[in-house]
Amino acid sequence: MEVSIQRYLSEAVPADIQTHGDTLSSYLKQLEERMDDWLPSAVSTEAMQRLLFYRVPALTSDGCSRIDGTLDEAAYDLGQALGLISDDLESHPAVRRLKQIDSLLEAVFGETKVDWLGVYLAWKTSDTSDVLIKIAYRGVESRAEFPLTREFARQSNNSSVGLSGKAVVINDIEHYLWQQGGPYYQCDSKVLSEACLPIFAPDESKVLGIVDAEAWSRNVFSPEIIAKLSAFCLVLESALDKLTAELKPNRG
């Protein structure tokens, strides 16, 4: 465990972001001990609908989310985006894994007390575009996909972290924008702090996804909160790796 923690901190978390190592280690152990309990043998139809369909903001003509609260008329179909086609999705391994990840996120959301928390999976769409797809979240409606391109990374921390594998922590977004000008993708004008951290593959070969956390107050992301979000990312390494394997048969 300590090797994994040190590897993650050295690879992902910038040196100027202090992290409570003891908090990280303790919280990681708590999450790992509960992972099997969060993996159901089957998912109810109602729960599956909540996992696979969610509302998203309408997009502007330049492909950005509208921040006036207007939602797209159609719900985002996560199952279709991931290629999940089956007559028995309730017991599909990937749907069960999504439920496990969702339960994990619920626990971390309650523990960190942030205002928004999401997990994104690095994925290749049916037209072979590389994107980050939101597979679980708590908070207000937000964009479902972020292009994993250098061009989009110029305006998005999510895409930047997904490409670089380097965490970004901003404890005062207004100051950050004034001093640096970005990158920053504004989904909600209430957000004043944000932390975006990478999720690596267990063999460290690539970035499997990211965790994004947002808060309506400044200076929310203390060393203790960053430690807990880092533990969240470390647990998700195995979960996202297994989810990717469980989705592969659906891709033909």
**Domain encompassing residue 173:** 2-251
Task: Pull the structure tokens for residue 30.
Answer: 């708590």
Whether the Cβ atoms of residue 232 and residue 23 lie closer than 8 Å to each other? no
Cα–Cα distance measured from residue 27 to residue 42, given in angstroms and rounded to the nearest whole number: 27
pLDDT-based confidence at 183, cuts 50/70/90? low
Rounded CA separation 27/15 (Å): 21
pLDDT for 229 equals 97
Confidence at residue 238, expressed as pLDDT on a 0 to 100 scale: 97
Question: Of 146, 141, 105, 108, whose CA–CA distance to 125 is shortest?
Answer: 146
* Residues sharing a CB contact under 8 Å with residue 127, sequence separation 6 or more, in sequence order: none
Find the length of the chain: 252
Token pair 């279709």 is found at 80
In single-letter form, the type of residue at position 241 comes to D
Q: What is the CATH number of the domain that holds 243?
A: 3.30.450.40
Is residue 66 left, alpha or beta, with left meaning phi > 0 and alpha meaning psi from -120 to 50?
Answer: beta
Residue 75 DSSP one-character state: P
Angle (deg, nearest 10), helices 223-247 and 2-12 = 100
Phi, psi of 209 (to 5 degrees): 170, -165
Per-residue confidence at 161, pLDDT binned at 50, 70, 90?
A: very high
* 57: preceding bond cis by omega (within 30 degrees): no
Given a contact cutoff of 8 angstroms between Cβ atoms, the answer to whether 104 and 35 are in contact is yes
Q: pLDDT digit string (tens) for 110-126? A: 999 999 999 999 999 98
What does the block give as tokens for 194? 């944000």
Tokens of 233: 């990312």
Nearest CA-CA partner of 57 in 40, 76, 85, 39: 76
What average pLDDT is seen over the chain? 90
Rounded to whole angstroms, the Cα distance separating 222 from 15 reads: 14
Q: What is the per-residue pLDDT for 252?
A: 46
Domain count, the chain: 1
Residue 60 neighbours by CB distance under 10 Å: 11
Task: For 20-36, write each residue's pLDDT tens digit.
Answer: 889 999 999 999 999 99
